[in-house]
Amino acid sequence: MAYTMPPTPAGPVGSQYCVCKVELSICGQNLLDRDVTSKSDPFCVLFMEVNGKWVELDRTETAVNNLNPAFAKKFVIDYHFEEVQKLKFALFDQDKSSTQLYEHDFLGEFSCTLGTIVSSKKITRTLLLGNGKPAGKGMITVAAQELSDNRVITLSMAGRKLDKKDLFGKSDPFLEFYKPGDDGKWMLVHRTEVIKYTLDPVWKPFTVPLVSLCDGDMEKLIKVVCYDYDSDGGHDFIGEFQTSVARLCEAQDASPLELECINPKKQKKKKSYKNSGIIIVKSCKITRDFSFLDYILGGCQLMFTVGIDFTASNGNPQEPSSLHYINPLGTNEYLSAIWAVGQIIQDYDSDKMFPALGFGAQLPPDWKVSHEFAINFNPRNPFCSGVEGIVQAYSACLPHIRFYGPTNFSPIINHVARFAAQATQQETASQYFILLIITDGVISDMDETRHAVVQASKLPMSIIIVGVGNADFAAMEFLDGDSRVLHSYTGEEAVRDIVQFVPFRNFRNVPKETLAKAVLAELPQQVVQYFKHQNLPPINSEPA
C-alpha cells in the first residue's frame, strides 16, 4: 500500500534543516554458520523506524559461502539533523529465492540511530539475536560517508583474451572495483555481473557515485580486480591493475582505453609473461545525479492546487454526521488534509497563492452542477493566499452551495494539466504542479479519470488523493500505480506513477506530521523522475 512507504523528506529548505544523503557501507565478521554442507550465504536488510514500526528500506546482495562478507551494494539514506532516525541492520542466510524474510535463517541484528553512525563515521558492534543475546561471535561494521558530491560515473567495460580458469570450459569473469580505505586497506566499491563461458566478456554499463568510487578525487588510485566466478564462492583470481578515474576518462566511444590485467604471481614465475588479458574501458562519462533538493535549491517552484469534493454523500454540513461539518475545534477531515499537505508545500511556492477548486455541487444563482468551480466564487482569480486563505474560502463557501453529484475527478485533473502543459514550454525545471484532491468516495467518471491521469503523467504534475470518511476506496488504490502500471481506456500506459492515495482514517489518531509524510512520501522522487526523463537539470546547476 502506498501509505506504508517510508517517508521521503519534503520539509522547508533552510538552516534549521540538515538534509543530505549518507551512504552506508556494510561488512560482517564471524557470522553464524547456518548451512550444514557449506558456509552461510548472508545478505543484509536495512530497516528504519516509522511511526513505531520497522519499514524495510533496502537490501544488499547475497554473499555466497562467506562468513566475513563485504557487501558491494551500499545503502543511501537521507539524513535529517532534526529527526531521530532509528535504523536496524538485520543479517540473514539466504536459503531460497523468496523475498519473504521468514523464509531465511536469521543471523543477528544491530540497531542504532543514523546520528550515532554519522558522528563516529565507522562503528563495529556485536550482532544480537531476537532474545537480546549475542549471535555467536558475529559482528557488523557500518561506515558512513556523506554524498554531498552529486557527480556519478558511468563505465562501460569489456575484456579480451582473459586467462582460462575452468577445466572444462572458458572462464566466467566479473570485475570488482576497490578504493583505498582510511585504514590503508582496499575497500570494495562495486562488483559487476558475471558473464558466463567467455574469455572476451562485455559487461553491462554501470553507474556509481563518484564519491563511492574515488572519494570524488579523480587522481586517486583505484584497483580493478578480475575474477572467474565459482558457485561455491571460491572465485579464481585472473588479474588486476591500478588506475585512476582521470585515466579512465581518457576512454571515448571512438577510442577505448586498454589496460593490462596482471597476475603478480605469474609475472614473477614466468619471464615471458605478458598479461592475463586486457580490460577495455569502452566509455567513461561523468554526469550529475540531481536530487529533489538540487531542483528545489535550483529554483523549482511547487505549484499547489486543492480540489474539494462537495457531493451529497458527504452529508449536510450543518449536521455533526457530515464530513464537511466543522466541529467546535474549527476542523474536520477535509481541513486536516488541507493543513497537513499545504503547510509543507507552501514553503516551496514563493507567492503562496493557491487555486482552490470544488466539484460535485450546485452553484447559485441558477443551481447548475459544476465539477470545476472556484470556492471563492471568483473564476478569473481562484487563488487563495496561503493555506489560511484556502481554509477561509472553504468555510465561507459551505453555506452558499448545494451538495449534489456525481463524483467526477477528470475536469479538475485536466484543469491543472492545462497549466502544467503551459509550463513545459519554458523547457526548464522551474515549475512542478501538485493537485490535492480530497474526496469521500467512489469516482463516477473512472474511465475519463484514468485517461486524464495517463495524459498528466507526461507533464510536470503529481496528484495526491486523500480519502475521507469510511467508504470503500478500492478505485483509489487502482489509480495509485504502486503495484501495477495504470492504463487509459484506450490502452495507453502511464509514463510514470503520479498518483499517491492515502485514506485519512489510517491517520485519525496519529500526529498530523505523520499524514503529511505519508501523503508526500513519493513526491520528491516523482519530481526528480519527471525532470530527469525530460533531461532537464536544475536551473542553476554547474556542469559535472
Taking the domains of the chain in order of start, what are their residue ranges?
20-147, 151-288, 310-534
pLDDT at residue 264 in the model: 96
User: Residues 344, 382: contact at Cβ < 8 Å?
Assistant: no
Amino acid at 199: L
How far CA 201 is from CA of 170, 174, 242, 261, in Å, comes to 11, 8, 20, 13
Per-residue pLDDT for 112 more than 60?
yes
pLDDT at residue 81 in the model: 53
Mean pLDDT across the stretch 308-326? 95
Task: Please report, rounded to a whole number, the percentage of residues in the chain having pLDDT higher than 70.
Answer: 93
pLDDT at residue 19 in the model: 54
- Say what the alpha-carbon torsion angle 363, 368, 369, 370 is, to the nearest 10 degrees: -70
151-288 carries CATH number 2.40.50.140:
no
The yes-or-no answer to whether 20-147 and 151-288 have a common fold is: yes
Mean pLDDT lowest for which of 325-334, 424-433, 475-484? 475-484
Output 516 or 320, whichever has higher pLDDT. Answer: 320
Q: Which of 199-208, 297-306, 330-339 has the highest mean pLDDT?
A: 199-208
pLDDT at residue 8 in the model: 34
- Say what the alpha-carbon torsion angle 260, 261, 266, 271 is, to the nearest 10 degrees: 0
C-alpha–C-alpha distance, residues 241 and 275, integer Å: 10
Per-residue pLDDT for 74 more than 60?
yes
pLDDT at residue 14 in the model: 27
Question: Each residue of 416-433: b (16+ CB within 10 Å) or e?
Answer: bbebbbebbeeebbbbbb
User: Residues 468, 333: contact at Cβ < 8 Å?
Assistant: yes
Output 427 or 519, whichever has higher pLDDT. Answer: 427
Quickly state the pLDDT bin for 136 (edges 50, 70, 90). Answer: very high
User: Residues 431, 468: contact at Cβ < 8 Å?
Assistant: no
DSSP letter assigned to residue 312: G
Mean pLDDT lowest for which of 21-30, 110-119, 242-251, 257-266? 110-119
pLDDT at residue 170 in the model: 87
Topology (CATH level 3) of domain 310-534: Rossmann fold (3.40.50)
Mean pLDDT score of the chain: 89
Mean pLDDT lowest for which of 178-187, 194-203, 336-345, 403-412? 336-345
Quickly state the pLDDT bin for 11 (edges 50, 70, 90). Answer: very low
Mean pLDDT across the stretch 450-455? 96
Decide which of 3.40.50.11030, 3.40.50.150, 2.60.40.150, 2.40.110.10 is the CATH code for 20-147. Answer: 2.60.40.150
Quickly state the pLDDT bin for 121 (edges 50, 70, 90). Answer: confident
Quickly state the pLDDT bin for 534 (edges 50, 70, 90). Answer: very high
Question: What angle, 0 to 180 degrees and rounded to 10, lies between the N-to-C axes of helices 512-519 and 333-345?
Answer: 70
- C-alpha cell recorded at residue 121: 563515521
Mean pLDDT across the stretch 322-349? 88
Mean pLDDT lowest for which of 118-122, 318-322, 535-539? 118-122
CA proximity to 433, closest of 466, 468, 467, 458: 458
pLDDT at residue 65 in the model: 92
CA proximity to 372, closest of 412, 335, 340: 412
Mean pLDDT across the stretch 152-164? 95
pLDDT tens digit sequence for 462-511:
999 999 998 888 878 777 766 678 889 899 999 999 999 999 999 988 87
Mean pLDDT across the stretch 449-466? 96
User: Residues 417, 459: contact at Cβ < 8 Å?
Assistant: yes
CA proximity to 174, closest of 146, 152, 150, 196: 196
